[in-house]
Amino acid sequence: MIVAILGAGPAGMSCANACLSFGLTPVVIEQGDHVGGAQRSNFHPNLWLLGSPSESGQELTRRLVDHYAQLQSTTLLGTRLEGLEKSDGGLILHLHTPEGPRDMGVNALVIASGMRPYATPELTELARASPRVIIGPLNDSIRDHVRDADVLILGGGDNALDHALFLAERGNRVRVCTRAEFSGREALLAACRQRAEIELHAHCRPERLVADATGVTAAWAGAEGIHHDWLLVMYGYKPNTEVVETFAPALRPQRTPSGHLHVDTWQRTTVPGIYAAGDVTDNVQPAIPTAIAQGLAAAKAIERDWKAGRLTGS
């Protein structure tokens, strides 16, 4: 029983580990050049994670990666899934590997491709044009290089407010602008309001942003442009589920309006033989522990479905 796992973050690594325990053969497909997922760049401590209050996402991920390295699991790095079809024996994956195209037959597929920071196409272009534009919170430059600077943060959620406090404590002056009302926790809002270094602006959307090597100039209606040394875009995340659009039409799992995959309590999608785990699912608390648990649940579901004869080729 071969199980393809798309993504080598916490959910994918957990699923591979559980598959081995259940007598299944996992093959992990990772588009990047390393395993571990986005949390490899999270330098913030997991204050709310029971048992590891001071451990950063980087440190926690390092422990997971070290464990994963000891597993007898096949990992295909630098490999992209470009199509999926049904076969008499299960599923056929069309892959693009560093060595070229490759087809692989499997009995089940687990989508565990995680999320990425959201940004508009215009902001994405700004980030390409200037190293002073950072999209998302998982960037070492925020920790190592933003000092005694004027910083503009776009976004009104917990990440935006948390980073405003983080930067204010390091000698920066921070302007936080959100397109509507602030949606972050009241405790974070209250803490930001108590800091003279932080300005909070609701219903504040720049009409124009111009980036160069020194930072970003932002202009609002009726005001001259204001230069900032750094721009941080904290618009939240979007799930990496576009890959399902490459699947044969009958094999495309149902997605929510936000792009997340619908799953049942056993991590089954709406297509038999295809499962999902981690941040690609519409769960109430995206987090490493949630991803690990869902990866385990997906492997258990595959074992149950295999033994019950519900999977093609079983």
Confidence (pLDDT) at 77: 97
Instruction: Tell me the percentage of the chain whose pLDDT exceeds 70.
Output: 99
Q: State the pLDDT at residue 314.
A: 54
132-178 pLDDT, tens digit each: 999 998 888 999 999 999 999 999 999 999 999 999 999 999 999 99
Q: Can you tell me the distance from the alpha carbon of 11 to that of 298, in angstroms, rounded to the nearest whole number?
A: 9
Quick one: CA dihedral 224, 225, 228, 232, positive or negative?
A: positive
Q: Is 241 helix (H, G, I), strand (E, B) or coil?
A: coil
Give the pLDDT mean for 209-231. Answer: 89
Q: Nearest 5°: phi and psi at 270?
A: -80, 0
Greater confidence (221 vs 127) lies with 127
pTM of the model: 0.92
Contacts of 298 (CB under 8 A, 6+ apart): 11, 15, 18, 110, 112, 266, 267, 275, 276, 277
> Alpha-carbon distance 46 to 9, whole Å?
17
| 10 has pLDDT over 70 | yes
pLDDT tens figures, 292-308: 999 999 999 999 999 99
Cα–Cα distance measured from residue 218 to residue 215, given in angstroms and rounded to the nearest whole number: 10
> Average of pLDDT values for 228-253?
96
Q: What is the CA radius of gyration of the chain?
A: 22
- CB atoms under 10 Å from CB of 191, counted, come to 16
Give ∠ CA 139-276-16 in degrees, rounded to 5. 80
Task: Reply yes or no on whether the pLDDT at 219 is more than 80.
Answer: yes
The dihedrals phi and psi of 297, each to the nearest 5 degrees, come to -60, -40
Distance from C-alpha of 204 to C-alpha of 96, rounded to nearest angstrom: 43
pLDDT above 90: residue 238: yes
Question: Which pLDDT value is given to residue 313?
Answer: 65
CA 2 vs CA 83, 132, 244, 303: distances in Å: 18, 45, 20, 11
Tokens 């590997």 locate to 97
Average pLDDT over residues 118-136: 93
Tokens found for residue 107? 């009995």
Query: Where do the domains of the chain lie, and which CATH numbers do they carry?
Result: 2-116+238-307 (3.50.50.60), 119-233 (3.50.50.60)
Q: Tell me the pLDDT tens digit for each residue of 46-80.
A: 777 888 888 888 899 999 999 999 999 999 999 99
Residue that wins the pLDDT comparison between 168 and 41: 168
